[in-house]
Structure 1
């Protein structure tokens, strides 16, 4: 009996040590406190009200490593409700942290809310921004990088330094003035300028970026603007593309890159030129007007100023389409997990559903609206995700108003204003066709997922076009552009339970309805598939005073 007791004690001790080890092995936490306020600055030489985070414009960078837990305590000191979304961060099983009006109640003025999410199994360059009320037009955006764990090698040598470049179009009107224009039925028109990290001209920058001779640097370039595609280039230097929205790429070299709204690239730049200053340029693309911004790179042993002659931007969207086709997934590189990316043969999976979505522009009661397959999304007082969780969805919205096929050209195009929620099947492998029937470029972003951008082509999509798909090494990413009178095809597995927003990245279009939500419900209310409603979740609408539903179980 004594021997048995000792064995039991030993087993208990081992269990305790194992449990302690689990606690000690928990992924690291990083805590941020954000004070969101108004401030007055002059990005284009005109004093205007902007949104600051901890008195910074743009906001502070979030620097993290794959699997880190990110905790951001946001104090809203604006005079309006506020939310932040994390563009490109996948939030596995956790759309509660997505920060979109369809998933979260807003942070009311004078209150705070703490986001908690894990950058799980992903690396790359991303950004955050406020998702409510056209706030992004006044700032509140910043860079978000996810570095690779030491266990997972990247397919290039460590750079000398790592720089974030935020480029965007900019308006001298405040977000409230722009919102009033949209609410009154008008477009916000063309921007007043372009910014690089909150500045318009190199002479206003105190040498933002220093490079040592013959050293290589990583530049993370994100277009955080409202509506305009931008071309980015560096005087006298080429850029080696190494990462695109969370995927290592084949390392092609480019003289310039078209960065569409919402997109992020990581490039390597080597200081192998004459030691002096050099201009970086961001300029508008696919517009009748030309606006640009300049930034400054200085060699540490600089012997002279930058040349006043700026490198020219490419012309035409065919050039941009060809550049898109040159982007390829690096199948020999490790992914965020310790396995080769090429082991996932997405091109061999059978498609279970094809959803064809077409953007629509129309006047409804004399006011401008944008729609998808005839439905122009409006946010209900109760976020649809909360309505689903509290089992009152039928009182808040109707599923599947957006059909899997748009109206044909022979049918009348009617635009209906309503919450737009598309019901999908958990773990199905689907194909989404994005059609652009307009003369302007479109750009789309999907929350919660990376998808395979298998094709962008001119003309109209038909099933026969599938023979043109790249089914081997299309880049896994979260945004895709669609050129005028063209289409794009993406493919993905709906393996991330939650409510996920597909939207135009162009702020006036998404604000006026060009967005929808995919409802990906797990049949089993299980923590294996989705996390419970957080204890600190804000409640509003009809669920505000309702008793909380039973939590999900931990069973399979």
Structure 2
């Protein structure tokens, strides 16, 4: 929701949609373009395939920094589990992990179904846009196409500098767009996704078929990159296209971001530990729990007492070994100020943060 967290679908912002009922979302996409996806955020339904693609196109009068592609492919790729999503949720609620995924899916299809019939049909010499989202819940994925170059053009709703890559890491919840030109010998080629940063690599393929092809794809798949450094360095190569227009005619870089006056820095660091025999994760020593009354409802009626306290999370992480406090967590901020939020990760696995709301800009 533009300039508000209302309708973001989180328990603190709105009441859940009860079984057997419905709710109509009304949204304005005035200041947004690009590739996104939707999913339920309270339970683990996303692990059972409850998600879908949202593509927001620029208005006709807004110039786009690349020629219109011959076609626009949505690619929702993610891990999947043989366990029911209610079992996964119960495991988390009891302090257990969800374990390793059983495999991967592309657009809801498994290895056998994704490759037959072809998922992407192309013509020689034409350029295509692939909108890729990692809709999984556990693993970073590397995507690539046999023998084809990927030109990054958009990420999280912003046009990017158009760097070219042989493959791209897509982290959990992340969406991006790349262009790929069908400039190879006509035939079938594999679109490949494989897991990163976990033991035992899982891979899935889907077929991209040139028009008139009767040649199967090569059996040998291009290898995924290895190690953390490659992924970090690739991320560092992503740049905002400061001369391109976004949702409005003015260039994305027309605002003087270098002159922003940062008035506050919040450093967030995750930790984990046992609370009443249950494994809990925390940010700066506070493990969030949802109160019975939605946070915004309590604020609206000025009835926060007994529901939650403000600023239990401090601006800097506590000393190592500080006991974890389980409570609703709400941080206050001053309207129209710029706040720098620094994320640290002392854990041995990737942590993903969902910045839910309006006007977050990744700085590094």
TM-score, normalised on structure 2?
A: 0.97
Q: Which residue of 1 aligns with 2:326?
A: 417
Contact 2:10–2:41 at 8 Å: present in 1 too?
Answer: yes
The answer to which of 148-157 and 130-139 deviates more is: 130-139
1:98 to 8, 23, 27: 8
In the TM superposition, residue 288 of structure 1 has moved relative to its aligned partner by 1.3
Mapping 1:181-192, distance limit 5 Å: 181-192=91-102
In structure 1, C-alpha distance between the alignment counterparts of 2:117 and 2:269, rounded to whole Å: 45
1:406 to 291, 294, 317: 317
Q: Which residue of 2 aligns with 1:149?
A: 59
In the TM superposition, residue 203 of structure 1 has moved relative to its aligned partner by 5.0
Moved over 3 A (4+): 202-205
In structure 1, C-alpha distance between the alignment counterparts of 2:149 and 2:246, rounded to whole Å: 26
In structure 1, C-alpha distance between the alignment counterparts of 2:112 and 2:82, rounded to whole Å: 19
In structure 2, C-alpha distance between the alignment counterparts of 1:93 and 1:329, rounded to whole Å: 22
Q: Which residue of 2 aligns with 1:352?
A: 263
SS at match of 1:454: coil
If asked which structure has higher relative contact order (CA below 8 Å, sep 6+), I would say 2
Does residue 241 in structure 1 map to residue 152 in structure 2? yes
Q: Deviations over 1:495-530 (max 9, x none)?
A: xxxxxxxxxxxxxxxxxxxxxxxxxxxxxxxxxxxx
Structure 2 residue runs without a partner (length 5+): none
SS at match of 1:441: coil
Contact 1:202–1:279 at 8 Å: present in 2 too?
Answer: no
Structure 1 residue runs without a partner (length 5+): 1-90, 456-556
User: When you count strand as a share of all residues, which structure comes out higher?
Assistant: 1
Mapping 1:301-320, distance limit 5 Å: 301-320=212-231
SS at match of 1:352: strand
SS at match of 1:386: helix
Does residue 223 in structure 1 map to residue 134 in structure 2? yes
In structure 2, C-alpha distance between the alignment counterparts of 1:287 and 1:212, rounded to whole Å: 36
SS at match of 1:321: helix
SS at match of 1:168: strand
In structure 2, C-alpha distance between the alignment counterparts of 1:253 and 1:269, rounded to whole Å: 10
Contact 2:3–2:358 at 8 Å: present in 1 too?
Answer: no
In the TM superposition, residue 406 of structure 1 has moved relative to its aligned partner by 0.6
Does residue 165 in structure 1 map to residue 75 in structure 2? yes
In the TM superposition, residue 347 of structure 1 has moved relative to its aligned partner by 1.9
Contact 1:236–1:273 at 8 Å: present in 2 too?
Answer: yes
Contact 1:374–1:415 at 8 Å: present in 2 too?
Answer: yes
Q: Which residue of 1 aligns with 2:43?
A: 133
2:169 to 258, 264, 271: 258
Does residue 175 in structure 1 map to residue 85 in structure 2? yes
The answer to which of 178-187 and 425-434 deviates more is: 178-187
Q: Which residue of 2 aligns with 1:371?
A: 282
1:112 to 22, 44, 57: 22
Which one has the largest radius of gyration?
1
The answer to which of 251-260 and 134-143 deviates more is: 134-143
SS at match of 1:226: coil
TM-score, normalised on structure 1?
A: 0.64
Q: Report the count of equivalent residues.
A: 363
Does residue 438 in structure 1 map to residue 327 in structure 2? no
